[in-house]
Amino acid sequence: MFTLTVSINAGCAWTAAVTGDFLSITAGASGTGSGEVHVKVAANSGEERSGTVTIGSVVATAKQSAATPTSCAFSVSPSTVSAPASGLDQTITITMTQGTNCTWTAGTSDAFLSVAGTASGSVHLVIAANASAARSGSAVIAGHTVGVTQEAVPPVDCQFGLPHPSVAPLDGGIVTIPVQTQDGCVWTPHVFGVLGAGFLTLLDTGSHKGSGSFRVQVPPNNGWGRSENYYINTVNTIQSYVVQPERPGACAMNVTPRLLVPSASQGSVSFHVQYLTGSYPTCSYNVSSFESFAIAGPAPLPFGIDNVYPVQIQANSGDWRYGYIEVQAGVYGQPDYHTIGVNVIQLAAAPACTYTVSLSGINAPAAGGVFAMTITPQTGPSSCFPSDSFAGDSFLTLSGVSQISATQFFETVTVAPNTTGAPRSENMVIAGRVIVVQQGG
């Protein structure tokens, strides 16, 4: 409240007025001659303010100080935020719970958090997408710490695509192997040899992410076709291989005999693997056994041009049985894969039927020929029929057994011309009898 004194000549009339809604005239709004104007001032709860009192043509200015500051307090909601890996824009509401004319600030020191759109009473807390493990952080808003947790990026079900196989040039070089997978999938290449090869050198080591490629160095190949596996390490191991074709004419081999006929008792037989061209290890090969009663062992060292493989034979207490051994060179499934088979016919322990054969062996000229033999039952019932005949190599062709009388049978063997230039021999089994065929070169 304040009072303004009006001094004026007697008989002069005047009026008073105010501007500013915090001022009001309680007495002396008009008068004649000297007098007083009483002005009421409302309490101020805010900033400094001013108004005017006009009396006649005189204007007086009234200023009111700002309100005395009081302590400020706020609440924020929500006070914790859980965000998915994809990110989140979270509105944080700020409520003033105490004080007037109070201000607030918002900020964060975590790189994946930011504050945006600070409006009266709210703020946007922006949480960036997460590409890694779960993480946490915080923002300070209006004096309150808002905790933030964010989920890890969901694991990717990584699928990998590799060539099957990659083909290396005969004369060597660098082979680039592509790897197809999803973004974010991590893989590391490795190489290792198979079949004694080990000819790849990895050029691009270390880990890779997403689709890409790696390179291997391949030396020239001077022997049979070869392969080496490689793999990429991920959660699981993914494997493929590189093949390199054979050097034409560099390697050749022969296997003799190609038919083994062990007796029913336990024992050992053998066959030869001979290099016609090339040598170990450039022209290396494998020997595989396919029946448990006839297992080929390793050739005695040193490994040379003519290598003898013993075959351990288990005793046979039943009928005759068949086994198979294979000599393999090159890469399985490739056009230059080579195999030579060794057949094993183990005779029966106590055959129901036995026979005599008119030929115990055949000496064939290099030009070949047709050789006939008669088969006569020796023991057994009248129903015996010598149906089991085997030849160890494709240069021998058996006609099959035919009956020429009640007590006699007949079979022929055709020996193909020998174009190898070297003598050769092979076994046959006719009616349980072993017949050796020898042919000149």
146-205 per-position pLDDT tens digit: 999 999 887 778 889 999 899 999 999 999 999 999 887 889 999 875 444 589 999 998
pLDDT tens across 385-414, in order? 887 788 888 899 999 999 998 889 999 999
What pLDDT score was predicted for residue 2? 87
Mean pLDDT value across residues 90-96 = 92
1 pLDDT more than 70: yes
What pLDDT score was predicted for residue 196? 44
What pLDDT score was predicted for residue 70? 65
* HSE-CB for 242 with a 13 A CA cutoff: 31
Which amino acid, one-letter code, is at 251?
C
Beta-carbon neighbour count of residue 424 at 10 Å?
19
Which amino acid, one-letter code, is at 346?
Q
- pLDDT confidence band for 100 (50 / 70 / 90): confident
Mean pLDDT value across residues 118-135 = 87
What pLDDT score was predicted for residue 149? 96
What pLDDT score was predicted for residue 6? 85
137 pLDDT more than 90: yes
How many Å apart are CA 238 and CA 308, to the nearest integer?
Answer: 38
- pLDDT confidence band for 69 (50 / 70 / 90): low
Of 100 and 91, which is predicted with more confidence? Answer: 91
Which residues on neighbouring strands pair with residue 144, listed in sequence order? 141
Contacts of 121 (CB under 8 A, 6+ apart): 93, 94, 95
How many Å apart are CA 380 and CA 348, to the nearest integer?
Answer: 14
For residues 296 and 311, is the Cβ–Cβ distance under 8 A? yes
What pLDDT score was predicted for residue 68? 67
Of 87 and 131, which is predicted with more confidence? Answer: 87
Task: Look at residues 124, 80, 74 and name the one whose alpha carbon lies nearest to residue 104.
Answer: 74
Mean pLDDT value across residues 194-222 = 86
Mean pLDDT value across residues 358-368 = 95
- Classify residue 414 as exposed, middle or buried by CB count within 10 Å of its CB (0-12, 13-18, 19+): middle
* Percent of the chain's residues with pLDDT above 70: 97
For residues 280 and 260, is the Cβ–Cβ distance under 8 A? no
CA 373-375-377 angle, to 5 degrees, is 170
* Percent of the chain's residues with pLDDT above 90: 58
What pLDDT score was predicted for residue 193? 57
For the chain, what is the mean pLDDT? 90
How many Å apart are CA 339 and CA 212, to the nearest integer?
Answer: 37
340 pLDDT more than 70: yes
Structural tokens at position 193: 């040899």
DSSP class per residue in 182-195: -TT-EEEEEEEEST
Contacts of 241 (CB under 8 A, 6+ apart): 164, 165, 166, 194, 227, 228, 229, 230
CA 73-77-83 angle, to 5 degrees, is 140
Of 276 and 98, which is predicted with more confidence? Answer: 276
Mean pLDDT value across residues 350-369 = 92
What pLDDT score was predicted for residue 194? 44
What pLDDT score was predicted for residue 138? 95
Task: Look at residues 337, 398, 392, 390 and name the one whose alpha carbon lies nearest to residue 373.
Answer: 398
Structural domains in the chain plus CATH codes: 2-64 (2.60.40.10), 73-150 (2.60.40.10), 166-244 (2.60.40.10), 253-350 (2.60.40.10), 352-441 (2.60.40.10)
- Classify residue 251 as exposed, middle or buried by CB count within 10 Å of its CB (0-12, 13-18, 19+): buried
